[in-house]
A and B are shown apart, each in its own frame.
Chain A
Amino acid sequence: AQKITQTQPGMFVQEKEAVTLDCTYDTSDQSYGLFWYKQPSSGEMIFLIYQGSYDEQNATEGRYSLNFQKARKSANLVISASQLGDSAMYFCAMRETQGAQKLVFGQGTRLTINP
């Protein structure tokens, strides 16, 4: 069974600093996808970034990058130059690429950006 672990329940970072949110995963599948979503206090789930298991390069989307270390089964999210608006819950998720393709989520990390 697939499992996602986010070991940081909460993180506090100064504005403009870079922050790394940890995510480790467990799967026996060879082909899978890894996602990060942001959930601000307003409650919606916002897609941030995707990494495929066969992608050789780390994914990047603006200030977001995914530090993918396949051998270690980790997919950490890096936010550069953090902003006050980055304060939110962040969820790491995995999707199997065969079968029903449901997303399995981690417990989430609450990120607070201090001015």
Chain B
Amino acid sequence: DTAVSQTPKYLVTQMGNDKSIKCEQNLGHDTMYWYKQDSKKFLKIMFSYNNKELIINETVPNRFSPKSPDKAHLNLHINSLELGDSAVYFCASSKRTEQETQYFGPGTRLLVL
């Protein structure tokens, strides 16, 4: 009965490859997010979807493309991976109303060699 799940948990890949991270939530939330945590532990929003519609698209290279097939799923595809993409990527979800907490997935640790 995991609330927000991500796969894979670890991802080690070579520069230039394309990879995807999947996220699923079973909380009945209508909004999902991708955050990036860098090597200094700083967390920053990347994207957000509400009912499959993109509502946040921060300054992220266009090599990163989110896709939301339905309200419960938000995937992140990364093309042409670079060394600087190495980070922990967190998926989160919430209801899009006031005072609603965002619940985070376990994170995907991406290492680009």
A residues in contact (CB < 8 Å) with B:
31, 33, 35, 37, 39, 43-47, 50, 52, 89, 91, 93, 95, 97, 100-105, 107-108
Q: Among A33, A46, A93, A103, which residue has its beta carbon within 8 angstroms of that of B99?
A: A33
Q: Say which size band chain B's interface belongs to.
A: 20 to 34
Known: A43-B107, A105-B42. A100 touches B99 (CB 8 A): no
Establish whether residues A102 and B45, one from each chain, have CB atoms under 8 Å apart when the complex forms: yes
B96 touches A101 (CB 8 A): yes
How many contacting A-B pairs (Cβ < 8 A)?
Answer: 60
Complex A-B: 25 CB contacts under 8 Å = A33-B99, A35-B101, A37-B104, A47-B101, A47-B103, A52-B98, A52-B99, A89-B41, A91-B43, A100-B48, A100-B55, A101-B48, A101-B94, A101-B96, A102-B45, A102-B48, A102-B56, A103-B35, A103-B43, A103-B92, A105-B42, A105-B43, A105-B44, A107-B40, A107-B42
**Whole-angstrom distance between the Cβ of A91 and the nearest chain B Cβ:** 7
A33 contacts B45, CB within 8 Å?
A: no
On whether A101 and B31 interact (CB within 8 A), knowing A35-B101, A43-B88, A45-B104, the answer reads yes
How long is the Cα–Cα vector from A1 to B81 in the complex, in angstroms? Answer: 30
Do A103 and B102 touch across chains, with their CB atoms under 8 A apart? yes
Closest CB in chain A relative to B101 CB, distance in Å: 5
> Do A97 and B98 form a contact, CB below 8 Å, given A44-B104, A44-B106?
yes
Which residues of chain B are near A102, meaning CB under 8 Å? 33, 45, 48, 56, 58
Residues on the A chain within 8 Å of B106, using CB: 43-44
Measured between alpha carbons, how far is A95 from B45 in the docked complex, in Å?
A: 11
Which residues on the B side are within 8 Å of A31 (C-beta)?
98
**CB distance A45 to B107 under 8 Å?**
yes
Whether, in the assembled complex, B109 has its beta carbon less than 8 Å from a beta carbon of chain A, the answer is yes
How many Å from the CB of B20 to the closest CB on chain A?
A: 20
* CB of B69, distance to nearest CB on chain A (Å): 21
